[in-house]
Structure 1
């Protein structure tokens, strides 16, 4: 089988390693079948898409809506690399699934409006499919409304006509969308379980997702309802596009 690639941007080893383990667990892919590239550690390699089954993108600390002068040299490099990659991915309609930062990468590439209007605190929220989402093969078998883990400072306020809205939540109108037939992005985290999001809450406690005194409240919020359906998206993506 041609491998999938996970493009990651987390600089902290514990959440970065756990993210890779969770993508492997929920896709069912082995280490050789899911190759991780940590973009915060070095430049994105040149990919021959003909030699890959598909591309996953994990979440990360970068916000597309940050002012240019607020972005680090690493963030500027990574954004430029994603723009070049997506030129080919979108043109070829190549299998791509970005989780959380996927919205920032694909959304920015499409010229979507990305701002702080629809930020969501770290929590569990109900995500509801649109009619297009209910008919999409990647969401086949999921309930029309399912619980998912979120936590983001920015989101898409307006999608361009070239994108298809697949799912929304009460505070965030764009939770998932598709471009063409095979390029997907989610605002929620399909790779996370309770242990994974707990690790991230502690790892990013001083990154502005919540106030220091809200740590306990945040840990409680991610346990308010069971989350079991989103991870099936990863398994379906891997099974659908493996070649």
Structure 2
């Protein structure tokens, strides 16, 4: 099998390694079947899409919709390089899955309105599939509504007309969408389990997602949830596109 490619941009090693662990575990992939590139560490290497089964774009502390003048030179480089790769991915309708940060980058690339109107605090939310989502192959085996972990400052407010809305929540209308046949993104984190979320809460407690002194309360809310459905989306993506 050709490996999948994970584009990561987390500069916190513990979180970055746990994200990689989760995508492998819930995608059913061995380490050699998921090639990771940490985009924040330096320029992207030459990437030949023909060598991969699909591309996964993980989450990030970056916020895609921030004004250009507020972005660091590192973020501008990362987004420019991933943008060029997205040009090819979209043109070829190459299998792509973006989680959280991927919503912003893929959404902006295709003309969506991405801003801070529908940001959600860290923790579980109830996600509901649309009629289109219920029959989409990446949602096979999912319940019509399920709990998922979120934590984001921005979200897609308006999808372009050529996108299919697959899922939403009461606090964020766009939780999952598809472009063309093979380009997907979720606002929630399908790779996140409770231990992974708690690691991110510790790592990003001073990053503006919640008041730092509320970190323990955020963890307690997460522990009360039962999040096990979203990971099926990753396994469905891998099984659908492995080649």
TM normalised by structure 1 equals: 0.98
Counting matched residue pairs gives 243
Q: 1:139 aligned to 2:167?
A: no
CA drift at 1:216: 1.8
Structure 1 residues 198-209: aligned runs within 5 Å: 198-209=198-209
> What residue is the counterpart of 2:94 in the other structure?
94
Distance 1:211 1:129 in 2: 31
- Note if contact 1:126-1:169 (Cα within 8 Å) is conserved in structure 2: yes
Distance 1:192 1:215 in 2: 17
Structure 1 residues 27-106: aligned runs within 5 Å: 27-106=27-106
Large movers: runs of 4+ above 4 Å: none
Instruction: Specify the SS of the correspondent of 1:117.
Output: coil
> What residue is the counterpart of 1:220 in the other structure?
220
Distance 1:44 1:127 in 2: 34
> What residue is the counterpart of 2:120 in the other structure?
120
Q: Structure 2: 5+ residue runs without aligned partners?
A: none
TM normalised by structure 2 equals: 0.98
- Note if contact 1:15-1:203 (Cα within 8 Å) is conserved in structure 2: yes
What do the CA deviations read for 1:175-206 (whole angstroms, capped 9, x no partner)? 00000111000000000100000000000000
Distance 1:101 1:67 in 2: 16
Distance 1:181 1:55 in 2: 14
> What residue is the counterpart of 1:185 in the other structure?
185
Distance 2:74 2:102 in 1: 17
Instruction: Specify the SS of the correspondent of 1:22.
Output: helix
CA drift at 1:147: 0.4
Distance 1:96 1:43 in 2: 20
What do the CA deviations read for 1:69-127 (whole angstroms, capped 9, x no partner)? 11011110111112111111111110000010110110110121111110000010000
Q: Structure 1: 5+ residue runs without aligned partners?
A: none
Instruction: Specify the SS of the correspondent of 2:236.
Output: helix
What do the CA deviations read for 1:135-157 (whole angstroms, capped 9, x no partner)? 10000110000100000001010
Distance 1:119 1:221 in 2: 18
Distance 1:184 1:42 in 2: 26
- Note if contact 1:122-1:221 (Cα within 8 Å) is conserved in structure 2: no
Distance 1:45 1:181 in 2: 27
Distance 1:141 1:215 in 2: 33
CA drift at 1:68: 0.9
> What residue is the counterpart of 1:24 in the other structure?
24
CA RMSD of aligned residues (A): 0.8
CA drift at 1:213: 2.2
CA drift at 1:224: 2.4
